[in-house]
Chains A and B, each alone.
Chain A
């Protein structure tokens, strides 16, 4: 555990003096209460409607999906489970399983609750016993997959089935069976941390990891998806374990390089969690050839589903390892270009993530800052600062703020880069920052105040106070006079006193 642990997502604290725009920002999303943006695009839990094997026998269910009466459906479900419990011949059992699976996969709201009440789980677990024919295993795992795609307590009902589902992931199983089991487990892992811990303790990770190795179509995709659910923490243990499995790193690289966009998307999500949580994984990924692949994907795809995890991975790697920035900014790499592409996108998540990556680059060396300043990004950023939504504005403010201070050395407080400050202010960024000061988001307000301090202190010829005054900045700061956040209150009052204070004494 020595090098493990969550990197705090909080940006470096400000020292006692105002004016330390967080010079280095860290990996984000370690803890979040917000909706994981991934889920609006790719669900953490998935219903399996069409078979995984591509085998015509199971995959084709051409009956119309009529909206049957709820009560009829429930009766059918209970009957199917009863039928399954009966000790019939092998083929009868498979028929019963198939009927139950059919019911569980055809409707938008499958009657999972009824199936559970009827005692489906214990019977399904029996169906998974070793030596059962593949068809039976496949149908049983499919049923379990769709049960696990239900509500929380329905997912939890799978607990007794987990050891067998994991056992069937192994090399001895047929690929369709293994994949279906992986799917079921992926649903379980997507539910909550507690269940992830159970799966990890029961050894689900290594066989899933190995399924990612060979390139066998949907198996890899399903395994990657299940793994991305399994390692998403917040404990970094699983992520570190995964990257150490032999061949996984190469497999990731290979898929990122060659795979179609759908598979690449799943693999990119694995990289997102690896890089967000594990320092070991981050440094191994950086040493491998993953960065150019990520940049290449960003340059060539227009799929939002793919762009999001790739961009976030890039951001995590840049934030996690300061050398990364040097690596990706070598000439010939078009990082800034692809980030500009994302900033121009219509999609909020992309803009925000791109600004976030840029803020980490902007926290780097003076050369890196100049690279941004001389690119197309700067104009875009300035525009976004005054026109975009609050969360993007905040990210953009970090970039612009970081451009104006030099990297910290040791204990050091950041120093001002006057040239950049003057350039940004002359291009009209001050009103945007003063708007931030008025923001309801106190982190944004703090950024606004920090930038204002740079302007007050750093603009030549004592121009700063005049500029702030013209943009009604005094009023913006005075709002904090009685603010509940002590830090902000002190910062704002301190600035007002220092730069706009009334003369107390009148010396003759």
Chain B
């Protein structure tokens, strides 16, 4: 793409249209930009447009975003995306321009370009971009000399993003060489600017400088701190060790100094706190990995952080600072310097002035509870609260307990009692104390297996449950004190396996009742509690709660669950839908229940088809339908037609409207319905079958597994329909297409295997040459281990189904003598790689039959092959999988339908059971030795000789042992 006024004009137009509210010009612009992006120098042209001062600012901003995304997908595209990479000369020009451009642009564009630069840095820095760091250092120096802190911060921000690569990586020589390069070039300038800025801050603060100036300066220090963190992440660099006191004394200053000019506003306080939080991260890092070098500073910092927390804990905002500061104390408590906490009264003091105030509910928590229940639950129940004050305060207690467990336990149980007494004294006013007590008990518990479940020795669980939790659950008003109700439900859920069945089950009606609570959190927790209870297993591995337990409540439970989905914001509540799924999986489903349920579920399905939003909810919805159909039809097969009447229209709508997200689900449900049908299959299905045979249906890779599944269902259910009207050749056409590519060949074999299994030889005989041709072509052009294994399994299945003579003759019909070549080159060497019990049995039995029945092997002339095959069979059958199978390197999966995002998700409840094609053979080992013994009697002495000549010594021993075990001697 050439840079000229015309290009400028065109690109500007396009970017302007991408901002258009009406879809048509927007889509057209997006399309032409996507096309232009394929051309060389597109990125450069967009960057130039960003730099063009005459162009409207919003266009330049849109271009900057586009530029960043362009680099993301094309600077170093991974091979499987199919994107073409930007060419080297263009890259060089971009690298030469971007730093200056970024520093001179407006803040919004700057942030985009800074991200773009980080993208380049991630791949090219430092080795392929040696000029970057010197350029940044020189610019930093210049900006610092002219006190231009906007530029200083721009440069530091960029440095910060490129140095982040040193975090979270394993230490390798390569990484350390890069780090060393950065340290050699940047450690000194960093300290220099840090100290200089520190001095300016001191003088600005004391002379009453403006808040705006201070803010810029503090931001600069914060960036220095973040860079400090990256550069120190791997280990303590020499330069930083030599200058530790300079860094530390400034760090301490920021923790202990107040900046009234700034701190009088929330915004300003936020800025100071961000710097303090960055400092806390740095000292935590030193505390964790440089204990010895940091020791001299520890006492001062511990005191500073302690004092700071005293103030911060009382304040209801300042979350980030509170969290990072508490983390520092936690790091100290678990380190070799933990004795800091051993002093008399220290731990009670921490508990009183840091832990409890931070665990107590704050206005923000109440607001979140009401306004954003999804986020609240995620934090409260699902472990994404790693950075909330409540959780981190409890982490501190856990940290201290590493070395002072007894003390912590004593103090906390006293605290819990105090909180509960305070609640008891005035429940209406002091309800938050009870919440705090419940939270402490749950958070300090030890996590158990099986998802959200815990145990504790802090309190007597059953006693606590009876006296504290049950009264809440039995409270008649489901809408009163919802946060306490949520806490109680959460406790019940978490400690569910420790509450005896009898006790827990008395509360079941209450749980059902709480499904009707208005609070989204409360009805979600009630659903979640029921769902988790149904999963509890007893010591003997059996489910504690079974269908008989819930049958009495089932109608009300289902009604309440469906009603709960009508509460505002809960229309797509995944906790409720999961509970529906679980209940349907456990309960005894009578037709009285099944009817309303299927109506309810299809109504919801029809609704969400219009705009699929929450994939988790959708998944549970489809699972619910699948489990309902499966279990209800098991009980009463006549229900199928009623289900069809409800479900088929919805599924047809999904197919007609091409609701991409749901197609894989729809095909799986259809497969399930087909399998439950009794032939002849209704005409509706045959319409769908025709659709299935269209090549277009298979273009989306996410559909393929589900389509294969559906095709299998048809092949098994209505084999005769398939063989008519040339449909089989269409099916085989699909096989042909799938098997041609390594990414779908497995699916292709599923189709082919099903054809072989379900159809008579006559029906397929005329196609067999074509099948072999397709397979041989793949074998020649692009064979992978995975392919060869599937090929082997297919040949085995063919042999089992249609006999070795047919196998040998049809293959040799393609090319004379090819069968033995394939046996020698592929079958024998790869047999030992087969995995999976059904597959191992199948291939072992087929191989055995080949050498014991096939004339090709018995007629002589193939003695050495006979021996080698037997050797492979013995290896396959006698050695554990991990000894015979080498790990295959992951093959890059080249998706053929780029740009498609929906993924295939398997429906557990619509799954297909693996069928063993050899049900009459129990033990392949026995089959092997019995077959060998049998043929050996026809020419005694012949086989022992071959065996001793061609089998590995270990395999000879094994074989002998097998013969003895099954009492089948080879003579």
Within 8 A of A (CB), among B280-304: 284-285, 288-289, 291-292
Asked if A475 contacts B447 (CB within 8 A), the reply is yes
Asked if B170 contacts A441 (CB within 8 A), the reply is no
Could you tell me the distance between the alpha carbons of A376 and B169 in the complex, rounded to whole angstroms?
Answer: 36
> What are 17 A-B contacts defined by CB distance under 8 Å?
A6-B173, A10-B171, A33-B176, A33-B179, A33-B234, A387-B336, A390-B335, A435-B334, A440-B284, A442-B170, A465-B449, A475-B447, A478-B383, A501-B450, A504-B908, A505-B908, A508-B585
Asked if B449 contacts A8 (CB within 8 A), the reply is no
Question: 14 extra interchain contacts, Cβ-Cβ under 8 A, other than A10-B172, A482-B386, A505-B585?
Answer: A33-B176, A34-B236, A35-B238, A387-B336, A390-B288, A411-B886, A465-B449, A469-B446, A482-B384, A500-B449, A500-B450, A501-B451, A502-B450, A506-B585
Per-position binary interface string of chain B over residues 228-262, scored 1 when its CB falls under 8 Å from any chain A CB and 0 otherwise: 00000011111001100000000000000000000
Asked if B448 contacts A469 (CB within 8 A), the reply is yes
Asked if B238 contacts A34 (CB within 8 A), the reply is yes
Check if A443 is an interface residue, CB within 8 A of chain B.
Answer: yes
Chain B residues whose C-beta falls within 8 Å of the C-beta of A503 in the assembled complex:
450, 535, 537
Residue of A nearest to B382 (CB): A481
A residues adjacent to B (C-beta < 8 A): 6, 8-10, 15-16, 30-36, 348, 387-391, 411, 413, 435, 438-443, 446, 465, 469-470, 472, 474-475, 478-479, 481-485, 487, 499-506, 508
Number of A-B residue pairs having CB atoms within 8 Å of each other in the complex: 122
Could you tell me the distance between the alpha carbons of A469 and B168 in the complex, rounded to whole angstroms?
Answer: 26
Per-position binary interface string of chain B over residues 709-747, scored 1 when its CB falls under 8 Å from any chain A CB and 0 otherwise: 000000000000000000000000000000000000000
Known contacts A32-B176, A440-B288; decide if A472 and B582 are in contact (CB<8 Å). Answer: no
Chain A residues whose C-beta falls within 8 Å of the C-beta of B292 in the assembled complex:
348, 389
**Interface size grouping (class) on chain B:** 35 or more
Residue of B nearest to A7 (CB): B173
Could you tell me the distance between the alpha carbons of A8 and B171 in the complex, rounded to whole angstroms?
Answer: 11
Distance in Å: Cβ of A443 to nearest Cβ of chain B: 6
Check if B513 is an interface residue, CB within 8 A of chain A.
Answer: no
Interface centre among A435, A475, A478, by most B CB within 10 Å?
A475
- Residue among A439, A470, A508 making CB contact with B446, cutoff 8 Å: A470
Could you tell me the distance between the alpha carbons of A501 and B535 in the complex, rounded to whole angstroms?
Answer: 12
Interface centre among B288, B631, B886, by most A CB within 10 Å?
B288
Asked if A9 contacts B173 (CB within 8 A), the reply is yes
Within 8 A of A (CB), among B172-206: 172-173, 176-177, 179-180, 183
Could you tell me the distance between the alpha carbons of A502 and B490 in the complex, rounded to whole angstroms?
Answer: 17
Known contacts A388-B336, A442-B168, A469-B446; decide if A35 and B234 are in contact (CB<8 Å). Answer: no
Residue of B nearest to A30 (CB): B173
Check if B909 is an interface residue, CB within 8 A of chain A.
Answer: yes
Distance in Å: Cβ of A280 to nearest Cβ of chain B: 20
Asked if B631 contacts A508 (CB within 8 A), the reply is yes
Distance in Å: Cβ of B781 to nearest Cβ of chain A: 28
Within 8 A of A (CB), among B92-138: none
Chain A residues whose C-beta falls within 8 Å of the C-beta of B450 in the assembled complex:
500-503
Distance in Å: Cβ of A348 to nearest Cβ of chain B: 6
Residue of A nearest to B232 (CB): A33
Asked if B447 contacts A474 (CB within 8 A), the reply is yes
- Residue among B171, B242, B447, B631 making CB contact with A478, cutoff 8 Å: B447
Check if B887 is an interface residue, CB within 8 A of chain A.
Answer: yes
Chain A residues whose C-beta falls within 8 Å of the C-beta of B238 in the assembled complex:
33-36
Chain B residues whose C-beta falls within 8 Å of the C-beta of A472 in the assembled complex:
398, 446-447
Chain A residues whose C-beta falls within 8 Å of the C-beta of B291 in the assembled complex:
389-390
Check if B483 is an interface residue, CB within 8 A of chain A.
Answer: no
Residue of A nearest to B890 (CB): A16
Asked if B183 contacts A33 (CB within 8 A), the reply is yes
Asked if B535 contacts A487 (CB within 8 A), the reply is no
Known contacts A6-B173, A348-B292, A487-B170; decide if A33 and B235 are in contact (CB<8 Å). Answer: yes
State the 8 A-B residue pairs at the shortest beta-carbon distance, nearest first: A502-B451, A474-B447, A440-B288, A500-B449, A484-B168, A35-B238, A31-B176, A485-B168
Could you tell me the distance between the alpha carbons of A35 and B183 in the complex, rounded to whole angstroms?
Answer: 12
Chain B residues whose C-beta falls within 8 Å of the C-beta of A446 in the assembled complex:
170
Residue of A nearest to B171 (CB): A443
Check if B543 is an interface residue, CB within 8 A of chain A.
Answer: yes
Chain A residues whose C-beta falls within 8 Å of the C-beta of B331 in the assembled complex:
440
Could you tell me the distance between the alpha carbons of A36 and B585 in the complex, rounded to whole angstroms?
Answer: 64
Chain A residues whose C-beta falls within 8 Å of the C-beta of B176 in the assembled complex:
31-33
Asked if A34 contacts B235 (CB within 8 A), the reply is yes
Distance in Å: Cβ of B243 to nearest Cβ of chain A: 12
Could you tell me the distance between the alpha carbons of A8 and B176 in the complex, rounded to whole angstroms?
Answer: 11
Known contacts A31-B176, A508-B631; decide if A389 and B336 are in contact (CB<8 Å). Answer: yes
Chain B residues whose C-beta falls within 8 Å of the C-beta of A485 in the assembled complex:
168-170
Chain B residues whose C-beta falls within 8 Å of the C-beta of A443 in the assembled complex:
170-171
Could you tell me the distance between the alpha carbons of A472 and B455 in the complex, rounded to whole angstroms?
Answer: 10
Chain A residues whose C-beta falls within 8 Å of the C-beta of B289 in the assembled complex:
390-391, 440-441
Check if B39 is an interface residue, CB within 8 A of chain A.
Answer: no
Chain A residues whose C-beta falls within 8 Å of the C-beta of B908 in the assembled complex:
504-505
Distance in Å: Cβ of B658 to nearest Cβ of chain A: 29
Residue of B nearest to A503 (CB): B535
Asked if B172 contacts A8 (CB within 8 A), the reply is yes
Could you tell me the distance between the alpha carbons of A218 and B238 in the complex, rounded to whole angstroms?
Answer: 30
Chain B residues whose C-beta falls within 8 Å of the C-beta of A508 in the assembled complex:
585, 631
Chain A residues whose C-beta falls within 8 Å of the C-beta of B335 in the assembled complex:
389-390
Chain A residues whose C-beta falls within 8 Å of the C-beta of B241 in the assembled complex:
34-35
Residue of B nearest to A499 (CB): B449
Check if B597 is an interface residue, CB within 8 A of chain A.
Answer: no
Asked if B585 contacts A440 (CB within 8 A), the reply is no
Residue of B nearest to A411 (CB): B886
Chain A residues whose C-beta falls within 8 Å of the C-beta of B383 in the assembled complex:
478, 481
Could you tell me the distance between the alpha carbons of A391 and B291 in the complex, rounded to whole angstroms?
Answer: 9
Asked if B234 contacts A469 (CB within 8 A), the reply is no
- Residue among B237, B334, B449, B586 making CB contact with A469, cutoff 8 Å: B449
Residue of B nearest to A444 (CB): B289
Could you tell me the distance between the alpha carbons of A439 and B402 in the complex, rounded to whole angstroms?
Answer: 14
Chain B residues whose C-beta falls within 8 Å of the C-beta of A502 in the assembled complex:
450-451, 535
Known contacts A15-B887, A442-B168; decide if A505 and B909 are in contact (CB<8 Å). Answer: yes
Could you tell me the distance between the alpha carbons of A301 and B89 in the complex, rounded to whole angstroms?
Answer: 62
Check if B167 is an interface residue, CB within 8 A of chain A.
Answer: yes
Could you tell me the distance between the alpha carbons of A504 and B909 in the complex, rounded to whole angstroms?
Answer: 10
Could you tell me the distance between the alpha carbons of A388 and B337 in the complex, rounded to whole angstroms?
Answer: 10
Chain B residues whose C-beta falls within 8 Å of the C-beta of A16 in the assembled complex:
887
- Residue among B177, B334, B582, B631 making CB contact with A31, cutoff 8 Å: B177
Chain A residues whose C-beta falls within 8 Å of the C-beta of B180 in the assembled complex:
31, 33
Residue of B nearest to A465 (CB): B449
Asked if B285 contacts A440 (CB within 8 A), the reply is yes
Residue of B nearest to A10 (CB): B172
Could you tell me the distance between the alpha carbons of A482 and B384 in the complex, rounded to whole angstroms?
Answer: 9
Per-position binary interface string of chain B over residues 906-920, scored 1 when its CB falls under 8 Å from any chain A CB and 0 otherwise: 001100000000000
Within 8 A of A (CB), among B471-498: none
Per-position binary interface string of chain B over residues 877-906, scored 1 when its CB falls under 8 Å from any chain A CB and 0 otherwise: 000001000110000000000000000000
Could you tell me the distance between the alpha carbons of A33 and B908 in the complex, rounded to whole angstroms?
Answer: 52
Chain A residues whose C-beta falls within 8 Å of the C-beta of B537 in the assembled complex:
503
Per-position binary interface string of chain B over residues 841-877, scored 1 when its CB falls under 8 Å from any chain A CB and 0 otherwise: 0000000000000000000000000000000000000
Chain B residues whose C-beta falls within 8 Å of the C-beta of A487 in the assembled complex:
170
Could you tell me the distance between the alpha carbons of A348 and B242 in the complex, rounded to whole angstroms?
Answer: 19
Chain A residues whose C-beta falls within 8 Å of the C-beta of B288 in the assembled complex:
390, 439-441
Could you tell me the distance between the alpha carbons of A313 and B317 in the complex, rounded to whole angstroms?
Answer: 55
Distance in Å: Cβ of B788 to nearest Cβ of chain A: 20
Distance in Å: Cβ of B241 to nearest Cβ of chain A: 5
Could you tell me the distance between the alpha carbons of A163 and B209 in the complex, rounded to whole angstroms?
Answer: 58
Distance in Å: Cβ of A37 to nearest Cβ of chain B: 11
Chain A residues whose C-beta falls within 8 Å of the C-beta of B384 in the assembled complex:
482
Chain B residues whose C-beta falls within 8 Å of the C-beta of A31 in the assembled complex:
173, 176-177, 180
Could you tell me the distance between the alpha carbons of A465 and B447 in the complex, rounded to whole angstroms?
Answer: 12
Distance in Å: Cβ of B900 to nearest Cβ of chain A: 24
- Residue among B168, B173, B284 making CB contact with A8, cutoff 8 Å: B173
Could you tell me the distance between the alpha carbons of A399 and B449 in the complex, rounded to whole angstroms?
Answer: 29
Could you tell me the distance between the alpha carbons of A10 and B170 in the complex, rounded to whole angstroms?
Answer: 9
